[in-house]
Amino acid sequence: MDPITARLYLCTDARTERGDFADFVTAAFAGGVDIIQLRDKTIDAAEELDYLEILRSVADRHARLWAVNDRADIAVLAGAPVFHVGQTDLPLPAARTLLGDAARIGLSTHTTGQVDAALVADSLDYFCVGPVWATPTKPGRAAVGTGLLRYAAEQSASAGSLRPWFAIGGIDLGTIDQVVEAGATRVVVVRAITAADDPTDAAERLLASLPPLG
């Protein structure tokens, strides 16, 4: 699988309080999640590598992708196929130098200028647009609304770009129709699956709400 064909991207912590990380990511992949990113600032590097080994094993069984956030050193050591950075994290050329050509690199965008740059940036394979709505997973980050999604869709189409982009931030079964109406065909979710009683069912329902890729 490649990010260009992915539609449903999940970010999750290590679920240390529940102790069900392996079962959870298995259920999420079973429901149709294409990429799972481990993002947990409460665990140390050694623990993260252990959890990523679990994630890799489950992802391989489902022929899906897994991702590392922010830490290029962890991504290299774990052999991550996907690496994601924010606007103030490691610069894209440096990330590409460290990870090589095999890894897919993604970037968060929050403004029209950042979207414009992401559409033409070297060393970039996909980008995220948001947060569409305020979310506790990104405290202090202002919501951008669906207007920035419309802008990304219009600019991507006018440029004839095949670079995939994902809407992110506060997206769940109650809001996903709004992001689709704004032009998004791919989404990143967190609580919509991590807080679900049945992660497989939640993933299936989210995926059914997305349009097929053209």
49-101 per-position pLDDT tens digit: 999 999 999 999 999 999 999 999 999 999 999 999 999 999 999 999 999 99
User: Across residues 18-43, what is the average pLDDT?
Assistant: 97
Residue of 132, 133, 110, 114 lying closest to 124 (CA atoms):
114
Q: Is the pLDDT of residue 103 over 70?
A: yes
Tokens of 8: 């449903």
CA–chain centroid gap for 78, Å, is 18
CA atoms of 92 and 109, how far apart (whole Å): 13
Structure confidence by residue, pLDDT tens digits, 189-212: 999 999 999 999 999 999 999 999
Q: Is the pLDDT of residue 43 over 90?
A: yes
Can you give the pLDDT at residue 139?
A: 65
CA atoms within 13 A on the CB side of 11: 22
Rounded to 10 deg, the angle between the 45-62 and 21-30 helix axes is 30
CA–chain centroid gap for 99, Å, is 18
CA atoms of 72 and 35, how far apart (whole Å): 18
Residue of 11, 23, 15 lying closest to 67 (CA atoms):
11
Residue 24, Cβ density class (10 Å: 0-12 exposed, 13-18 middle, ≥19 buried): buried
Q: What is the pTM of this model?
A: 0.96
Which of the four pLDDT bands, split at 50, 70 and 90, describes residue 134? Answer: confident
